[in-house]
Structure 1
């Protein structure tokens, strides 16, 4: 189509686009109005007890983490979360595949280090779907229960790169007294302003968690699982297993998390989206990095759109209630709205370019429209879009800061490109699979583990770990703090005062940092191994090598080395470096070998 033909048909094109965008804009206000109505009716809600005041029993929780090619992140994920989680009665179950040797080895090392980490190996090669891996993890959990006599009350889903908030499991445990499914908010970790692709996730999730998820809750519709940070009652999973030949999660589904939320709602069970609120150093939410390149973002969102908008439509239709129908519409309208939004953006750029040229050439603007009805539609549509972007920017500013929120209007153009490509890709994949009578293939998302700065957000202080682990009471800790100097070292004071032993302090520091601890038998350490690294390097970082095992150089120290230490040590060895925390006495014994 030539520019002249576009200009000739411009009034009709503009009028049609304005009507579509007007309907979409009005629809986007509905969740806002639902939340506003709820707020007006419940201005003074009952004050729920804080987690510190909640003294209920810690139900046993199983955390399912499916893994495929996750050897680079799963170790850090488990070690950090074991250190950060302020909850004691839980176990990790890590799902792996026999043809992914690196991940199998990494998870087996974790199981050797932590008593509450267990490996669930699928009986067939991978990759399959996430749901298939989750089913085998569920089988491993039931086998563990048979072997030990334990029983898990709640199952929580997570991915291999997730940062679990210290209070997340406590929140799920508290709300599980009332609800069969509890969804903790999910938020992307912040990235630099210029990373537009990841920033789009920040914008959309901020708005989704602040408005859409709450509106679903208030309207009485289904709460979709986000796939991470979702806690399920054990009874619900057992019921699904009995209905599906022991397959809790639908292995053929591309978005098993979304669909299981629909199933639970249709079964008449209660669901809760835990409202976003502050806890400790940040919001009580699961944090992670989402795709940071255009290609990977389109790939992930193509799977989301295929599963949520098309596959779920095929399986569930439009539901039985008007509430379900409306939210199904909200989740599926992107098939139309996303291409229309991108088309509008492109026409806007063409029209803006022609307007600038018309000023320079002193000619009439070719895209000018004089029809008052169309002009009124355009102004109303522009107003609705401005309201939407303002609300999104407000949500983003509350979580990521005002400076980051300034970029929301610019990023909406990039977001429209990503979402349009995903919608077109989803339609092509779905129709192609139907035409060739082939099942849809699950597309894995590549995961990256957060930086040390992001991890520090969830790091617990040593005194908190000591009290939570039962080494000291709150009163005893307050007395210790009163005895110490302001700049004193807590660990040294506890040992010097005789309140705790060297071993007890070492174990507490291990819990705090998420690194393994233990005693190294110096009689088995060869002097040449202990002298593997230059003396000045060992002294600078406070570490001593004590063994070589399966391509790893094992080093020990009485304190956790700084973040850059292990990176710098790579210059002196080709082996992968693994750190172990030891007592100060044990460290001095190792130093004597040098």
Structure 2
């Protein structure tokens, strides 16, 4: 059977050695299959619990979506809001972000704080040109050359905010976080202002924008955020669990920010400069300081979701770098810095947040199994090994895995279609493979990065590079329907 395989060599072809090697591979495949199936089933049960809770909320009429009228969306805020944006080498996008915010937010009771660096004149010039002398824009230029870390930049902005409060004799009511490329919703400040009457922290959804030039890499963010912010975060809010901040479209009460800053030390700020996911950590600290958190899904009068739109990485290398930073900060640093919480719900959510490295390992093993299975089928066809029958336990685990994959694919399609249409919803199913590949590469990179920090290497701000997208720039002179009406 194997005499026509010249690449094996005369000493191997027809020998018992090759048959023994294939038999060992077959045994290894069975063990690896059991390992992967066990963890996939465990993950499926975890996800199904979230699914069941979400379905229960829907069946009991506790819809996550509320409404805001045009009058409410444009009414004066109950107190001043400080919007913090850290900007390093963002000359291509920061101008649009500033113009878009000033055009869409109709209130006067807010200040855009733009944190820039003394060695980044292009970004400083872009901010100045976009502001056009508007007093609602405040540029904070740090003396330390960039880049430092995003948290360090935000802490510099916070110091300037505190100095302004002392100088003018009044105090901000809320602190809102955004990124340099965000496209804000006209009703955002009103929604956050209203939520902070009863809560200390409010997170709004993030809506990744589709990019025709990147239908696989960029679009997989749309799939993930549509499901996460349409289901998982809704359940988290309903359970009263600690709420992580996305660093975008999230608002904190001024008092809570001050308490977190005091927790970190008198000379510092509320943001952890040594943490790669300072926003995530900041949100979780709200509950530890005795505060309450909310995740809000609100729709305006046109039916549009009050969410921040943004362009996510469109290239594989950029997506892997961004997600590896998330895994490093949330999974590895989160374990070191935050522990596991005190309640069962928070411990469950911490496990879900930090499963990135394990997920990457299981997915890598799963795709490796496909290659091993293909090789064994070839060996079986050539008569090198007999096919083995799976044990009843393994058959049951694999059946659950298959059913779970079909269920997960259907839900991913549903949530993506709900926000982006049926075509994108159907496209979300094959994009699961893309998301898995990125997760594997990001998990590997995050592990190596974490090991390097254990060896004494400092944490670096590996920011996502933002470029001027044609679609984004076309929106620059326009307002949304709600803002223009």
Q: Structure 1 stretch 403-412 or stretch 296-305: which is displaced more? A: 403-412
Where 1:105 maps in the other structure, the secondary structure is helix
Q: Quick check: 1:282–1:457 contact (8 Å CA) kept in 2? A: no
Q: Quick check: 1:200–1:414 contact (8 Å CA) kept in 2? A: yes
Where 2:85 maps in the other structure, the secondary structure is strand
Q: 1:258 to 1:294 in 2, by over 3 A?
A: same
Where 1:83 maps in the other structure, the secondary structure is helix
Q: CA deviation at 1:289?
A: 0.7
Q: Select 1:29's aligned residue among 32, 45, 48.
A: 48
Q: CA deviation at 1:204?
A: 0.8
Using the alignment, how far apart are the partners of 1:350 and 1:454 within structure 2?
48
Q: Quick check: 2:99–2:131 contact (8 Å CA) kept in 1? A: no
Q: CA deviation at 1:122?
A: 1.4
Where 2:281 maps in the other structure, the secondary structure is helix
Using the alignment, how far apart are the partners of 1:65 and 1:160 within structure 2?
6
Q: Select 1:122's aligned residue among 137, 142, 158.
A: 142
1:327 aligns with 2:346: no
Matches within 5 A, 1:32-181: 32-43=51-62, 50=69, 52=71, 57-181=77-201
Q: Quick check: 1:51–1:170 contact (8 Å CA) kept in 2? A: no
Q: Quick check: 2:77–2:190 contact (8 Å CA) kept in 1? A: no
Using the alignment, how far apart are the partners of 1:282 and 1:334 within structure 2?
32
Match of 2:4 in 1: none
Q: 1:236 to 1:358 in 2, by over 3 A?
A: same
Using the alignment, how far apart are the partners of 1:196 and 1:464 within structure 2?
32
Match of 1:265 in 2: 287
Q: 1:87 to 1:366 in 2, by over 3 A?
A: farther
Q: CA deviation at 1:455?
A: 5.8
Using the alignment, how far apart are the partners of 1:461 and 1:296 within structure 2?
30
Using the alignment, how far apart are the partners of 2:228 and 2:291 within structure 1?
23
Q: 1:405 to 1:49 in 2, by over 3 A?
A: closer
Match of 2:253 in 1: 233
Where 2:243 maps in the other structure, the secondary structure is coil
Match of 1:448 in 2: 467
Superposition TM-score, scaled by structure 1 size: 0.72
Match of 2:333 in 1: 311
1:390 aligns with 2:437: no
Using the alignment, how far apart are the partners of 1:342 and 1:202 within structure 2?
23
Using the alignment, how far apart are the partners of 1:461 and 1:249 within structure 2?
32
Matches within 5 A, 1:441-520: 441-452=460-471, 456=475, 459-460=478-479, 465=484
Where 1:156 maps in the other structure, the secondary structure is strand
Q: CA deviation at 1:404?
A: 1.1
Matches within 5 A, 1:374-453: 374-434=394-454, 436-452=455-471
Higher relative contact order (CA 8 A, sep 6+): 2
Match of 1:533 in 2: none
Task: State the aligned residue count.
Answer: 463
Using the alignment, how far apart are the partners of 1:463 and 1:273 within structure 2?
22
C-alpha distance after superposition, 1:483-512 (max 9, x if no partner): xxxxxxxxxxxxxxxxxxxxxxxxxxxxxx
Q: Select 2:33's aligned residue among 14, 35, 49.
A: 14
C-alpha distance after superposition, 1:376-409 (max 9, x if no partner): 2111111012111111110001011111121223
C-alpha distance after superposition, 1:509-560 (max 9, x if no partner): xxxxxxxxxxxxxxxxxxxxxxxxxxxxxxxxxxxxxxxxxxxxxxxxxxxx
Q: CA deviation at 1:143?
A: 2.3
C-alpha distance after superposition, 1:174-210 (max 9, x if no partner): 1111111111101100123853111211111111101
Q: Quick check: 2:22–2:376 contact (8 Å CA) kept in 1? A: no
Match of 2:8 in 1: none
Q: Structure 1 stretch 11-20 or stretch 158-167: which is displaced more? A: 11-20
Q: Quick check: 2:242–2:293 contact (8 Å CA) kept in 1? A: yes
Q: 1:461 to 1:46 in 2, by over 3 A?
A: closer
Q: CA deviation at 1:412?
A: 1.3
Q: Note the residue ranges of structure 1 that are not aligned, 5 or more in a row.
A: 468-594
Match of 1:206 in 2: 226
C-alpha distance after superposition, 1:36-68 (max 9, x if no partner): 233344458997664535767442111111000
Q: Structure 1 stretch 225-234 or stretch 37-46: which is displaced more? A: 37-46
Q: Quick check: 2:205–2:306 contact (8 Å CA) kept in 1? A: yes
Q: Quick check: 2:29–2:369 contact (8 Å CA) kept in 1? A: no
Using the alignment, how far apart are the partners of 1:325 and 1:315 within structure 2?
14
Using the alignment, how far apart are the partners of 1:384 and 1:398 within structure 2?
21
Where 2:451 maps in the other structure, the secondary structure is helix
1:345 aligns with 2:367: yes
Q: Which of the two has higher C-alpha Rg?
A: 1
Q: Quick check: 1:18–1:381 contact (8 Å CA) kept in 2? A: yes
Q: Structure 1 stretch 258-267 or stretch 449-458: which is displaced more? A: 449-458
Superposition TM-score, scaled by structure 2 size: 0.87
Q: 1:258 to 1:279 in 2, by over 3 A?
A: farther
Match of 2:243 in 1: 223
Match of 2:321 in 1: 299
Q: 1:371 to 1:154 in 2, by over 3 A?
A: same
Q: 1:115 to 1:321 in 2, by over 3 A?
A: same
Using the alignment, how far apart are the partners of 1:220 and 1:260 within structure 2?
17
Using the alignment, how far apart are the partners of 1:210 and 1:463 within structure 2?
22
